[in-house]
C-alpha cells in the first residue's frame, strides 16, 4: 500500500537489473534506502547476465531492453562478462541498443575517506558510442591489426550539447574539452572544433571554456585537480580519465556512473561484479547508492537526493558505519541500516 508521502507523488516505475556477483546485495541496499526515502518509486525487476544465460540463451534477453525502453529510467548492478563463451559485453550491448551516447561520471570527495586531495568535484562527460570503441577492428594479413577511430559530427554534437546543457543546469563554472588534436587532426580536431562551435551558445554561462591535450590533462588532474570542473571527452580519453578522477576520491568502490541518451537513462556503479565478495555482506554499496542518488536528480527529485547524500555522508563519517574497503568495520547491511537510520 502506498505510504502518505508516496501517495502525494506520482508513482514512477524504474527498471532494476540486480546483476551478478555482489550486484544483488548492492542493489538491495539501494532498494532499502529508496524505500526509507519514500519517493514513490516502484521497481520492475528484470534479470540479465550470467544467471539467465542458460534459461534464455543470452545474457541480455529482449524483455530487459523492452522494460528499459518502456520505463525510460533504469538502475543496474554490475554484470559479469562471461569469458570465452562468445557473448559480447552486456554493458556495451545495452549502451548500443538503447543509444546511450553519454557516459556521465561524477567524482566528488566524500567524508571519512582519507586521501591526498580534498574538495574534488569533477564531472566527466564521455562520448559512449564512437572513437576506437566503435568496434571497427580487424587483422591486416597475419602480422598486423588495425582499429578504426570513428568520430562523426552528430556524435560530437550530441555529447557536447548535453555536457553544456547539463553543466549550465548544475551551475558549473568551467568546462574543458579533452583531445589530441595536435596529432589526430581530423578525428580529435573535429571533436574539439565542434565543442567550441557549440560553446558560442553558452559563452556567458561559464567562467572558463577551454581545452587540454589529453596527456597534459592527465598530469594536471594529478597535480591540481581542484582547478577542474567539467571535462568533455571522446570515448577512449573519457574512459581513462574518469577512472583517474575516481581514484582521486577513493577508487571504483565509490564511483557512480550514468549512461544517458535522449529521454532515456541507465544508472550503474562503475565497479564490476567482484565475485569473490558475493554473498558475504562485504560489498560496498556506495557506488550504486550514489548512482541511485543521481537517478533521483535526473527524475526531478533533487531534495530527496540531497537528503540521501546527507544520510550517506553521516554514515561515512564514522568508522563503525563505513565498509571495510574504506577503513571501516561495517558490512553491506550495517552501512545500509546506518543510512536509513540517518534519514529518520
Ligand atoms: P571488479 O570491479 O569486480 O573488482 C576489482 C576489485 O575491486 C576486486 O578486488 C573487487 O573485490 C573490488 N571491488 C569492486 N567493487 C567492490 C565493492 N563494491 N565493494 C568492495 N570491493 C569491491 O573488477 P573485475 O574483477 O575486473 O571484474 C569482475 C567481473 O565484473 C568481470 O566479469 C567483469 O567483466 C565485470 N565488470 C562489470 C562491470 C559492469 O557491469 N559495469 C564493470 C567492470 C567489470
272-300 per-position pLDDT tens digit: 999 999 999 999 999 999 999 999 999 99
Give residue 325 CA to ligand 1 midpoint distance, Å: 13
What is the pLDDT at residue 295? Answer: 97
pLDDT tier at 2, thresholds 50, 70, 90: very low
Which numbered atom of ligand 1 lies nearest the CA of 251? 7
Exactly one of 20, 72, 131, 133 is catalytic; which is it? 133
Q: Are 89 and 98 in contact (CB under 8 A)?
A: no
Give residue 111 CA to ligand 1 midpoint distance, Å: 23
Question: For residues 146 and 186, what is the distance between their CA atoms, to the nearest angstrom?
Answer: 18
| 342 contacts: CB under 8 Å, gap ≥ 6 | 310, 311, 312, 314, 315
Which numbered atom of ligand 1 lies nearest the CA of 283? 19
| 143 contacts: CB under 8 Å, gap ≥ 6 | none
Give residue 278 CA to ligand 1 midpoint distance, Å: 11
Give residue 282 CA to ligand 1 midpoint distance, Å: 13
> Is position 55 annotated as part of the catalytic site?
no
What is the pLDDT at residue 54? Answer: 86
**Which H or E element spans position 213?**
strand 208-213
> Is position 215 annotated as part of the catalytic site?
yes
> Is position 293 annotated as part of the catalytic site?
no
CATH number of 116-249: 3.40.718.10
**Which residues does a 6 A CB cutoff place in the pocket of ligand 1?**
22, 78-81, 91, 252-253, 268, 271-274, 276-277, 283-284, 287, 325
What is the pLDDT at residue 134? Answer: 86
Give residue 5 CA to ligand 1 midpoint distance, Å: 36
pLDDT, tens digit, for every residue of 11-48?
Answer: 899 999 999 999 999 999 999 999 999 999 999 999 99
Q: Are 123 and 106 in contact (CB under 8 A)?
A: yes
Residue whose CA is closest, atom 25 of ligand 1?
Answer: 274
Torsion sign across C-alpha atoms 277, 126, 295, 263: negative
CATH 3.40.718.10 fits 1-108+254-344, yes or no: yes
Report the mean per-residue pLDDT for the chain. Answer: 94
CATH 3.40.718.10-classified regions of the chain: 1-108+254-344, 116-249
Q: Which of 60, 266, 274 to mutate to test the pocket of ligand 1 (most atoms within 8 A of CB)?
A: 274
What is the pLDDT at residue 51? Answer: 87
pLDDT at 7 over 60: no
The gap between the terminal CA atoms of the chain, to the nearest Å, is 20
> Is position 63 annotated as part of the catalytic site?
no
Mean pLDDT of the 144-171 span:
97
Mean pLDDT of the 86-111 span:
91
Exactly one of 215, 262, 320, 341 is catalytic; which is it? 215
C-alpha cell, 204: 556567458
* Dihedral pair phi/psi, residue 124, rounded to 5°: -100, 125
pLDDT at 4 over 80: no
Which numbered atom of ligand 1 lies nearest the CA of 79? 40
DSSP tag of 139 = E
Q: At what angle do helices 62-71 and 90-97 cross, to 10 degrees?
A: 50
DSSP tag of 158 = H
Exactly one of 180, 237, 298, 304 is catalytic; which is it? 180
Amino acid at each position: 500500500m502506498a505510504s502518505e508521502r508516496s501517495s502525494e507523488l506520482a508513482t514512477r516505475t524504474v527498471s532494476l537489473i540486480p546483476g551478478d556477483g555482489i550486484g544483488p546485495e548492492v542493489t538491495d541496499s539501494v532498494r532499502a534506502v529508496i524505500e526509507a526515502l519514500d519517493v514513490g518509486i516502484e521497481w520492475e525487476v528484470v534479470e540479465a547476465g550470467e544467471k539467465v544465460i542458460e534459461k534464455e540463451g543470452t545474457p541480455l534477453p529482449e524483455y530487459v531492453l523492452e522494460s528499459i525502453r518502456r520505463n525510460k529510467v533504469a538502475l543496474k548492478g554490475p554484470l559479469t562478462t562471461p569469458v570465452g563463451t562468445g557473448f559480447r559485453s552486456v554493458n556495451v550491448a545495452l549502451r548500443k541498443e538503447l543509444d546511450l551516447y553519454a557516459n556521465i561520471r561524477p567524482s566528488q570527495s566524500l567524508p571519512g575517506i582519507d586521501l591526498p586531495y580534498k574538495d574534488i568535484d569533477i564531472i566527466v562527460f564521455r562520448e559512449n558510442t564512437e572513437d576506437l570503441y566503435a568496434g571497427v577492428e580487424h587483422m591486416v594479413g597475419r602480422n598486423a591489426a588495425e582499429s578504426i577511430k570513428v568520430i562523426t559530427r552528430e556524435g560530437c554534437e550530441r555529447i557536447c550539447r548535453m555536457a553544456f546543457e547539463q553543466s549550465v543546469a548544475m551551475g558549473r563554472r568551467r568546462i574543458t574539452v579533452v583531445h589530441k588534436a595536435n596529432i589526430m587532426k581530423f578525428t580529435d580536431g573535429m571533436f574539439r572544433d565542434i565543442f567550441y562551435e557549440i560553446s558560442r551558445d553558452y559563452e556567458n554561462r561559464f567562467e572558463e571554456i577551454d581545452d587540454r591535450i589529453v596527456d597534459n590533462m592527465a598530469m594536471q588532474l594529478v597535480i591540481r585537480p581542484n582547478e577542474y570542473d567539467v571535462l568533455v571527452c571522446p570515448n577512449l580519453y573519457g574512459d581513462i580519465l574518469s577512472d583517474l578522477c575516481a581514484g582521486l576520491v577513493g577508487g571504483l568502490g565509490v564511483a557512480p556512473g550514468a549512461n544517458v541518451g535522449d529521454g532515456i537513462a541507465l544508472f550503474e556503479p562503475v565497479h564490476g561484479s567482484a565475485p569473490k565478495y558475493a554473498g558475504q555482506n562485504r560489498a560496498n554499496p556506495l557506488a550504486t547508492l550514489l548512482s541511485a542518488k543521481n537517478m533521483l536528480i535526473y527524475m526531478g527529485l533533487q531534495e530527496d537526493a540531497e537528503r540521501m547524500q546527507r544520510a550517506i555522508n553521516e554514515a561515512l563519517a564514522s568508522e563503525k558505519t563505513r565498509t571495510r574497503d574504506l577503513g571501516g568495520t561495517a558490512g553491506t547491511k550495517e552501512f545500509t541500516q546506518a543510512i536509513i537510520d540517518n534519514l529518520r
